[in-house]
A = this chain, B = another copy of it.
Amino acid sequence: MEIAQAPATHRLQPGAPSQEDIDRYRALSANAAAGAAVVATSARGRDYAATVTGWLPVSYDPPTMLVSLYGESRIGEAVSTSRFWTLSLLTRGQQGIANWLASPGTPLEGLMTQVPFRRGEVSSAPVIDRALAFFELETVATHPAATHLLVVGEVRAMGTLASGRDVLDPLVHFGSAYHRLSR
């Protein structure tokens, strides 16, 4: 076995992190490869939607998923106070939608006018057309975690809207950019 490089470990103290701690963590955690998805909900007559990489299938029994949302964000407030929400997993061809719904300054009015979507049968929330898979979820728990809320939901409806080669072509985020899988 080869001699390992000396590890360059950066330590953090419990309590408030320094700016350097945060900057280094941002850079290191950007190494998390993750599928891009859109989380959406409808509340008080409006649609809310945002691109997320912080989501997970959690359990098969019952089918349960999780999304991690910044607590102070509109989408965080909307999802955590709604009964139902959706996750639409994006394909590589949907990078434009991912970019649009990840913009910090997305408008509250007209957010979805140029995004092709339908309404979930159970949730009435937006489900992105051509999604690799979609899930309609009912919140069963919400847990604060630092600046974020972990919203746990049970699947009430699901399906796929992708076809052809799109079904093999997820949109993947890694290192602050979008990528596709190698064929």
What is A's interface to B at a CB cutoff of 8 Å? Answer: 1, 4-5, 7-12, 14-17, 21-22, 24-26, 28-29, 31-35, 54-66, 68, 89, 116, 118, 120-122, 127, 129, 132-133, 135-136, 138, 141, 143, 145-148, 150, 152, 154-161, 163, 167-168, 170, 172, 174-175, 179-183
Contacts and interface: CB of A to CB of B under 8 A. Distances in A.
A118 B136 CA distance: 42
A95 B89 CA distance: 25
Contact of A181 (B12, B154, B179): B179
Contact of A11 (B64, B66, B156): B156
Q: Which 4 A-B pairs have the closest CB atoms?
A: A59-B146, A33-B35, A25-B63, A29-B57
A158 B63 contact: no
A5 B130 CA distance: 9
A182 B168 CA distance: 13
